[in-house]
Amino acid sequence: MAVDSLFMLCLWLFLDGATLGVASTPLLLFYARRFDPWQVALAGGAASAAGSVVQLVALRWMVARGRPWMRRFMPSRKRIERATRQNPTTSFLAIAIARATPLPDAPVKIAAAIAGYPALLYFAALMVGALPYYFLLAYLGHRFHLPVWSILAIAGAFLAGLAADRWRRRADAADA
């Protein structure tokens, strides 16, 4: 099994989707030089979405078990359930739009878990969002053959931004 195979990209994207979901952009940029952008978008989007569905199911299980550490992440269950019932199309679009950006989609994923959003519909929304975003990243990576150090720098900048945001939230919470 070659390290630069489409299967390996899909495996990494699945694992990323099932865990923290922070490595998809650098993975797409790195692997894109070897494959057509449509292959990366379609196969990578499906693998990433499948991993995210695994994470959704795990979150749903944790929410149902009332894990104490989950309480700080959870908005009102009744509010989310009511909003999801009243606006099912909006929920689908929110999930798709969240996946179509490099921004973390944890709030949307937690809301979907609390509301009991159907896994198959969640997968479909993720694919709708992932296809154009993954295609764009794959096109850029395929066209410009970014050096590995620049891809790692992009990933590092993204992680630094997440860490700074987390630090800012903790500082704000401590001040409150």
For the chain, what are the domain ranges?
Answer: 6-170
Q: How far apart are CA 90 and CA 86, in angstroms?
A: 9
Q: How far apart are CA 169 and CA 3, in angstroms?
A: 38
Give the predicted TM-score (pTM) of the model: 0.80
What are 98-134's pLDDT values in tens digits? 999 887 788 888 888 888 889 999 999 999 999 999 9
**pLDDT, position 51:** 97
**pLDDT, position 165:** 78
What is the band of 17 on the pLDDT scale with cuts at 50, 70, 90?
very high
From residue 24, give the alpha-carbon distance in Å to each of 28, 101, 162, 165: 6, 11, 15, 19
Closest CA to 122 of 100, 94, 82: 94
Closest CA to 91 of 115, 70, 63, 59: 115
What are 34-91's pLDDT values in tens digits? 899 999 999 999 999 999 999 999 988 888 777 666 666 665 556 666 655 665 556 8
The DSSP line for the chain is --TTSHHHHHHHHHHHHHTT--SHHHHHHHHGGGS-HHHHHHHHHHHHHHHHHHHHHHHHHHHHTT-GGGGGG---HHHHHHHHHH-HHHHHHHHHHHHTSSS--HHHHHHHHHHT--HHHHHHHHHHHHHHHHHHHHHHHHHH---HHHHHHHHHHHHHHHHHHHHHHHHHHHH-
**pLDDT, position 155:** 78
* 96 pLDDT higher than 70: yes
**pLDDT, position 135:** 97
Residue 172, token pair as written in the block: 């704000």
More confident residue, 84 or 159: 159
In the chain the first and final C-alpha atoms are separated, in Å, by 53
